[in-house]
């Protein structure tokens, strides 16, 4: 279980509070207006900023003492996920070994991950020679290989068209099923949330609300979500 316990995050005068649990293995969307603190919340879980109050726990372990690389977390940002000077295979290999000195068995795992995302023939291409969708799949393959229990996605497919985005979401869903990962995914598209997430956290007005069942939430949205959706 992921626990945000009496949590407060601040940037100057800006604050976000959260006091909630997310069950292990859940697939959860994080939805709310621009500037609400979605990226900040994921960054705090990943260890890029320290809370000003409260704790972040995974399976009852306080993550505060763990550096970002030691946390049980893979995070995918909206962009800049790949190193431009490295090939697809090398970018994926970084998920296993930051120094890229891979054993034969590890190289085989990289090849397998490339195949898993449909890029078996693109191992030696650098990001500039890949489409946006292919780049996204390389980043996903790296996350797949890291197989950390918590997968945090910060609108990683926002630049893709609807068909490709749906394909990527389905891939994320199947990766999570296979690895048992707990997913927390920022999206500004309710359709994305409904496609992949059984639960949704609404964030706004300085607070991240406890996760609710996605279908029920969108069937009868609370005022903050209504405002966001523009349906009030």
Contact with ligand ADP (CB under 6 A) among 7, 37, 114, 137: 37
The answer to whether residue 187 forms part of the interface with ligand ADP (CB under 6 A) is no
Residue placing its CB nearer to Mg ion in the complex, 10 or 123: 10
The item of Mg ion, ligand ADP, none sharing an interface with residue 40, based on CB under 5 to 8 Å by kind, is ligand ADP
Query: Rounded CA gap, 216 and 211, in Å?
Result: 11
For residue 34, the partner it binds in Mg ion, ligand ADP, none, with Cβ less than 5 to 8 A by kind, is ligand ADP
Binding flag, residue 39, ligand ADP (CB under 6 A): yes
C-alpha–C-alpha distance, residues 187 and 196, integer Å: 11
Asked whether the beta carbons of 152 and 42 are under 8 A apart, the reply is: yes
Structure tokens at 191: 């359709």
Output the smallest distance, CB 16 to ligand ADP, in A. 7
CB 171 within 8 A of CB 117: yes
Smallest separation, CB 73 to ligand ADP (Å): 17
Q: Which of 35, 161, 191, 223 binds ligand ADP (CB under 6 A)?
A: 35
Q: Does 104 bind ligand ADP (CB under 6 A)?
A: no
Question: Which residue's CB is nearer to Mg ion, number 41 or number 130?
Answer: 41
The answer to whether 139 and 86 are in contact (CB under 8 A) is no
The partner in contact with residue 48, picked from Mg ion, ligand ADP, none with C-beta cut-offs of 5 to 8 angstroms by kind, is: none
Minimum distance of ligand ADP from residue 43's CB (angstroms): 7
Q: Check if the beta carbon of residue 137 is closer than 8 Å to that of residue 109.
A: no
Instruction: Return the H-helix or E-strand segment holding 17.
Output: strand 14-22
Task: Map residue 199 onto helix, strand or coil.
Answer: strand
Residue 17, beta-bridge partner list: 8, 207
Q: Which does 35 bind (CB under 5 to 8 A by kind): ligand ADP, Mg ion, none?
A: ligand ADP
Closest by CA position to 227, among listed 212, 205, 196, 211: 205
Write out the residues near ligand ADP by the rule CB under 6 A: 11, 14, 34-40
């Amino acid at each position: 279980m992921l626990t945000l316990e009496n949590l407060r995050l601040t940037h100057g005068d800006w604050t976000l509070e959260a006091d909630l649990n997310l069950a292990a293995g859940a697939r959860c969307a994080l939805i709310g207006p621009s500037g609400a603190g979605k990226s900040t919340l994921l960054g705090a879980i990943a260890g890029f900023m320290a809370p000003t109050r409260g704790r972040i726990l995974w399976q009852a372990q306080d993550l505060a003492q763990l550096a970002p690389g030691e946390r049980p977390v893979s995070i995918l940002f909206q962009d800049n996920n790949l190193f431009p000077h490295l090939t697809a295979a090398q970018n994926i290999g970084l998920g296993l070994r930051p120094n890229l000195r891979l054993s034969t068995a590890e190289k085989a795992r990289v090849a397998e991950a490339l195949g898993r995302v449909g890029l078996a023939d693109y191992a030696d291409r650098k990001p500039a020679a890949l489409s946006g969708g292919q780049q996204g799949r390389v980043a996903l393959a790296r996350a797949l290989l890291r197989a950390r229990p918590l997968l945090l996605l910060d609108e990683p497919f926002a630049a893709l068209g609807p068909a490709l985005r749906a394909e990527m979401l389905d891939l994320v869903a199947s990766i999570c099923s296979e690895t048992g990962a707990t997913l927390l995914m920022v999206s500004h598209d309710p359709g994305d949330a409904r496609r992949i997430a059984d639960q949704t956290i609404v964030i706004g007005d300085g607070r991240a609300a406890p996760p609710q069942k996605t279908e029920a939430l969108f069937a009868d949205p609370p005022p903050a979500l209504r405002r966001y959706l523009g349906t009030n």
